Amino acid sequence: MSLNETGAKQTTWWKKKDVKQTALIWVIVTPIIGYVATEVQVRSMGAPASEIMASTINLMRIFTWAAAPVAGLVFAMSATVLLSKSFYGDTPPPEAEIGYRNSPRANALWVAVSALLCLFALVVGMVAVQKDSASLTDATAMEIKVTGQQWVWSYDYTGGSGVRSDVLYLPVNKPVVFHVTSVDVKHSFWIVQMGIKIDANPGYITETAVTPNKIGVFDVRCAELCGLLHAYMQNKVHVVSQADYDAWIKAQSKLEAATA
């Protein structure tokens, strides 16, 4: 207890009922927000099919858990105010007079914590981007040209085969660089479970790279609203063994020779 300037007894700030209530709500909602937000994001995209996706999911978890206490505090303060500060009298309540009092210490703390969180997100994010873009310069990578057009993706396999297809086949554990472009409007090439996404712009070639590390069938989507049938602009990527991939390329080349 301490005395304020009018001589009345004043409770220490952290012993006040509002503060205790806010702290309690904060402690309860923070883990709920963190858990629900990470799990909803992670599960909606399926199991990772590349190292990049695994590290992206990891990054999403870290960022979401770092942000959860901030969201929790905003929620707790709002809930406290909404639940216990309603007033129905004709005249303003006495505490309305002291409602807006600036606290330099609280401001300083808020700025410092925000700055630290931003710095943390920046550094951790830049390290992840650096790591992910390393595969772009891999000399052993195979190269595929990706073309977006309303509303289909097509793939040209370089390396002399001359094969063009509207499904993507990739050998497992082999780095691949995509050269992405569009013939009409802007699209965005996105392999969901491999965690890569890059704009497909008419007149430009953008590049992204990945090493698929799991055999299976995964989703390719367009991630840029590109017209009426945008939602249907999707197909599959089949990740297969090197032998199956070679057989598929061979079969496709024969097919194209026969129809030429």
Of 194 and 233, which CB lies nearer to Cu ion in the complex structure? 233
CA distance 66 to 60: 10
Of 170 and 222, which CB lies nearer to Cu ion in the complex structure? 222
Beta bridge partners of 235: 220
**At its nearest, how many Å lie between Cu ion and the CB of residue 227?**
7
Query: Which amino acid is residue 160, in one-letter code?
Result: G
**At its nearest, how many Å lie between Cu ion and the CB of residue 144?**
18
Of 213 and 234, which CB lies nearer to Cu ion in the complex structure? 234
Of 219 and 244, which CB lies nearer to Cu ion in the complex structure? 219
Contact 176, 158 (CB under 8 A): no
- The binding site for Cu ion (CB under 5 A) comprises 187, 222, 226, 233
Burial bucket for residue 72 (CB in 10 Å: 0-12, 13-18, 19+): buried
**At its nearest, how many Å lie between Cu ion and the CB of residue 232?**
9
Instruction: Look at residue 170 and give its three-state secondary structure.
Output: strand
Of 159 and 227, which CB lies nearer to Cu ion in the complex structure? 227
Contact 70, 116 (CB under 8 A): no
**At its nearest, how many Å lie between Cu ion and the CB of residue 225?**
8
- Extended strands (E) in 135-245: 142-149, 152-157, 163-165, 168-171, 176-182, 187-191, 196-200, 206-210, 216-222, 234-240
Q: What is the DSSP letter of 125?
A: H
Contact 75, 31 (CB under 8 A): no
Contact 23, 76 (CB under 8 A): yes
CA distance 204 to 209: 17
Of 144 and 187, which CB lies nearer to Cu ion in the complex structure? 187
**At its nearest, how many Å lie between Cu ion and the CB of residue 158?**
23
**At its nearest, how many Å lie between Cu ion and the CB of residue 49?**
22
Of 192 and 222, which CB lies nearer to Cu ion in the complex structure? 222
Residue 48 CA to its chain's centroid (Å): 14
Sequence-distant (6+) residues with CB within 8 A of 113 are none
**At its nearest, how many Å lie between Cu ion and the CB of residue 217?**
21
